[in-house]
Structure 1
Amino acid sequence: MKRQGGFTLIELVVVIVILGILAVTAAPKFLNLQSDARASSLQGLKGAMSGASGIVYGKAAIDGKETSEKTVAIDGIDTVYGYPKATSAGIGAAVVGLDEDWSSVVSGSTLVVGFKQDPKPTLASKITETNCYVTYSEATTLSSGVSVIVTATKC
């Protein structure tokens, strides 16, 4: 008679147990994607802010208003040195949804933006203590331009 080949029940159980152990140790690494998603959202916001400020600067240059150190409105967006100011009437108006989808607080010539919080924070320190935010610093001189920095150490 010919002997049939195959796996015994014990061999199958051992394989299932090993797969179960691997799943328990590896699954948390792959399932905890929330922090990566939050950090990626901040990178997207940084790109939106940088892109919007570049477009506004281009429009200001076309209008010949890129050298003004005083606040000048370009298509309803407050600018200084041609770049959007760090206010809701500046970069907040240039980036669609910034005021509705994010919490933001002005601190001097810097706008600190983080994930939506209820109630809306009134101090920038409430957003920065999360270690998950974007800072937009407006142009302070004719040659400085804007600065957009992401902090995502504890998202």
Structure 2
Amino acid sequence: MKRQGGFTLIELVVVIVILGILAVTAAPKFLNLQSDARASSLQGLKGAMSGASGIVYGKAAINGVETKDSNTDVDGIDTIYGYPMATTDGIEKAVVGLAEDWDSFSQVVSAPANSITYSFSGSTAPTNFSTGCFVNYAQASSVSSGVSIIVRDNNC
């Protein structure tokens, strides 16, 4: 009779043990995917804010109001020095979906003056400006300053 070839039980157990060791060493690399996704979402929001403020500034320049230092309406968006203000009628109207998908916080400890902070829906207000998981939009403070958009993703 011809002997059939196959794996013994010990060979199968050794392979399963090796696969288990590989899975344990590779798992930590994949466990941090949610944090990376949150950080990427914040970077996307920063890009959306930057793009929207640039478009609004262009419209303000066409209208000749890019140097006004008071609340000026540009297509229904409150602006100052041509850029959206850090209010719900400013940057929130300029960025489509910002009010629906993100929570805003206007009073964050040590945040820049005339700024508004956004974080994920359902999140609590950031308690410290140096660490957290949020995007801060500070409106222009002069004709030459432009806006400041800061991302904190070290605690996502």
TM-score clears 0.5: yes
Name the structure 2 match of 1:115.
Answer: 120
Contact 1:52/1:94 (<8 A) preserved: yes
Which has the larger displacement, 60-69 or 11-20? Answer: 11-20
Contact 1:113/1:127 (<8 A) preserved: no
Corresponding letter in the other structure for 2:126:
I
**TM-score, normalised relative to structure 1:** 0.86
Is structure 2 residue 139 aligned with structure 1 residue 147? Answer: no
Query: What RMSD, in angstroms, separates the aligned Cα atoms of the two structures?
Result: 2.0
- 1: distance between equivalents of 2:106 and 2:32? 32
Q: Deviations over 1:7-50 (max 9, x none)?
A: 44322221111111221232232133111111111011000000
Name the structure 2 match of 1:57.
Answer: 57
Name the structure 2 match of 1:15.
Answer: 15
**TM-score, normalised relative to structure 2:** 0.86
- 1: distance between equivalents of 2:33 and 2:18? 25
Counterpart secondary structure, 2:69: coil
Corresponding letter in the other structure for 2:122:
Q
Task: Report the alpha carbon displacement of residue 95 of structure 1 after superposing the two structures with TM.
Answer: 0.6
- 2: distance between equivalents of 1:19 and 1:117? 39
Name the structure 1 match of 2:110.
Answer: none
Identity of aligned residues (%): 68
**Structure 2: 5+ residue runs without aligned partners?**
108-112
After TM superposition, the runs of 4+ consecutive aligned structure 1 residues lying more than 6 A away are 1-5
Counterpart secondary structure, 2:106: strand
- 1: distance between equivalents of 2:155 and 2:26? 21
Which has the larger displacement, 59-68 or 4-13? Answer: 4-13
Name the structure 2 match of 1:127.
Answer: 126
The within-5 A match list for 1:10-89 is 10-89=10-89
The within-5 A match list for 1:88-107 is 88-107=88-107
| Residues paired across the two proteins, number | 149
**Structure 1: 5+ residue runs without aligned partners?**
none
- 1: distance between equivalents of 2:126 and 2:93? 20
- 1: distance between equivalents of 2:8 and 2:49? 62
Task: Report the alpha carbon displacement of residue 6 of structure 1 after superposing the two structures with TM.
Answer: 5.7
Counterpart secondary structure, 1:14: helix
